[in-house]
Copies of this chain bind each other. A is one copy, B any other.
Amino acid sequence: MLRAAMDLLRETGSEESVSLRAVAARVGVSVPSIYLHFADKQALLDAVCAEVFEQLHVAMKTASADAPNPWEALRAMGVSYVHFALDNPEHYRIVMMRGSSEQAPADEIASGAFGHLLDGVLACIGLGILEGDPVDLGLKLWAAAHGIASLLIAKPRFPWPQVDELVDATICMAGTGLAVGSRLPDELSPDEIVKRLEKLR
C-alpha cells in the first residue's frame, strides 16, 4: 500500500489523485482494508513522508560522500537536497509543505537528513570555517535550500532564470553569508574567510 501510494503520487503528480480508493484498486484490495494497516489516510501519508525522508537522507549522503572537504560536502548536500526535491516535487510537497499532521515528525527530521547536515556543519566548525551553534547554522542552511526548492516547486509558471545556476548560487550565498556572518566579531577578517573558502573549491 505504501509503495502504491508513492507510485500513484509520482505518476499522477498531484496529491489529490492519491485517494484511498485509488490505492486500494492498485493494491487489489477493498478500501476498508487500508484501515487495517494504517489508522488514517494521514497515517499512510506520514509513512510516505518517512520513506521520502529516508531517500532524501541517502541522496544527500551519497552526494557528499566524495566531496574533497567538509565545505564542498556541505555544498553538495545542499545542491542534492534541492535536486531531490525537484525530482520528486509532489513527495517533497507532502513532506515539507503541509500541515505536519498534529503528530510531530521532528525526531525523523533530526535523526535523518538533518542529522547528516549537522555533521557537515560540525566538520566545517572543526575546520574553522563556521562558528556558533551547529543547530542554528544548520537551520539557516536548511532554510535557504528549502526556500529555493519549495519556490521552484510551488511556482513552476514563474519565469525562472537558469534553474541549476540559481540553485547553486543560492546555496553558495547561504554558505558565504553564514561563514562571513558567523565569524564577524572574530579575529578573522572577511578577506581571509573568503580566501579560505575559495581555496576549498
Which residues does A use to contact B, with CB under 8 Å?
14, 93, 96-100, 103-106, 109, 133, 135-136, 139-140, 142-148, 150-151, 154-161, 166, 169-170, 172-178, 180-181, 184, 189-191, 193-194
Contacts and interface: CB of A to CB of B under 8 A. Distances in A.
A29 to B, nearest CB: 27
Interface of A is mostly: helix
Contacts of A169: 136, 140, 181
Top 9 A-B pairs, shortest CB-CB distance: A147-B147, A177-B177, A104-B157, A143-B147, A173-B177, A190-B190, A143-B148, A97-B97, A190-B194
Contact of A190 (B145, B175, B191): B191
Contacts of A109: 155, 158
A139 B166 contact: yes
Contact of A194 (B142, B147, B184): B184
A175 B144 CA distance: 12
